[in-house]
Structure 1
Amino acid sequence: MRILFFLFVSAGVLQAQTAELETYIEVRPGTLPIILTVPHGGSLKPANVLARRYGVTGTDSNTIPLAEMIIEELATRYGGKPHAIISRLHRTKLDPNRELEEAAQGDPISIAAWHRFHDSAQKACDSVMKKSGMGLLLDIHGHRHLDQRIELGYLIQGDQLKHSDAELNADAALIASSCIRDLDKRSPQSFAELVRGPQSLGGLLESQGFRCLPSPSKTSPAFMAGYFSGVYDVSAHGSRKGGTVSAIQVECPWNNVRDTPEHQRRFAVALAESLGVYFEVHFGRKLR
């Protein structure tokens, strides 16, 4: 009888923990060869999760509603939804865009949430590769740099972007260490064009009215200017270490992108339309 009671209690605890993690890390399966990860937009601060003691703890405000609109606009245009993994925990409790030690700092619930975030992202990548053969992960963030541009991170440092197109194209080690390594092999365009040419994601978004970096108009950051080149998520789930899902960190400024629902919708429309062209040009396939 005691064994049965113990098993019953254990099953109840496990079920409660599972439900708790599902609240903290939202996972949505999709049908398009696109994965959205949103690591820093959460607001939940459960008392039973210890606060992180070091590292960045600021929230990327409005990145979750922005991602919701991106999902809607992709569905409207292409008849399917992207996979989505969204952290609802505040960054004071968990930072999924860091390695486990810094991300969770020893708290067991945060550790479990981190694993759910990244296991789900990898399962989404595996699903995309199995179904479509290739795909793209977009890691959605927000920044407050003085230069209010959409910053696109390919794991290429700002100083490296100062190199000429010829130097970028000749740097095999740099290309191999980028999170679009596989896409570079597929695209008919050069690596430099893929990163900052007219049909790069930055170039396509600029044609929709959004200032971007890198892009044809801004090939590299100014001296001492802020620029986010990508961190853990795009490194772990992009094609840097293999696989056929490439990744881009999408850093959205506050002004004219995240600040109002109207601006969020306008950006979501522009990104969805740009991705349709991007897939045709670089992946050689239509999204629909």
Structure 2
Amino acid sequence: MSESNASATRITPGNALRPEDIAAADLKPSADVVEYALRLGDDSLMLAQRLGWWISRAPELEEDVALGNIALDLIGHARSFLSYAGHGLDKTEDDLAYFRSEPEFRCAHLFVQPNGDFARTIARQLLVSHYQFELYSRLMHSTDPTLAAIAAKAVKEVDYHRDHSSQWVLRLALGTDESRRRMIAGLKLTWPYVEELFVDDQLIDTLGDAAVRPSTLRAPVDSLLASLFAEAELEIPAVPAAVGGGRHGRHSEHLGYLLAEMQVLAREHPGATW
């Protein structure tokens, strides 16, 4: 490869990160980086699938557009991470999205929780967006240049997701008695799945500075949420943590139903284009 071509395909923070850009860079990730990229890509892919359900069902037209745009942002993040993982597995992003079985997915349980009512969806989005903002803010400094570049692009979009969910929490918690009741109930149903996001494991130890240690994110996320909860006159839900395992392919029944809906067309017509 000539120097000019190398420069054209070099991935750095701020570059456009389409799947074809990642492939053109021809940077083969290690098996450990592949596993890490699958975790991040699967998180975003599953949440995007959940949020897409709200299109035409949100409480107001503006919110149809907002949740649809957040879902599209997340699909973009998923494409980048899964394309990078696929580059190390000689698979495409579509192979990984549509033709893996349930135990092969690495998403945390929070990302596949049912939508419930609008307040429950907002509670889930609040927790996810604050976690992802802190995660990507640190992943920008990864020693893996592709992960760093994906994070640098994603963090700008997640910052909007964080503001959007925070504004809705304030509106619902400080609104009517019914909206406040639903916001509190949504947080109680969602909070048990937070703990899994901050669990370290052997993969994180192996990756070192290429990854972000989840446990280091807990304090800043808790601090930001505590400030918002104080403003919204809410309390941190006193509920036990749910059993995790999503990072290692152990999922609840929710993922199976979600994959069945998401994968059916690709599996019925493999290789089809339109």
* TM bucket normalised to smaller: 0.3 to 0.5
Please identify the structure whose Cα radius of gyration is greater. Answer: 1
More strand by share: 1
TM-score normalized by the length of structure 1 = 0.36
User: Which structure dedicates a bigger proportion of its chain to helix?
Assistant: 2
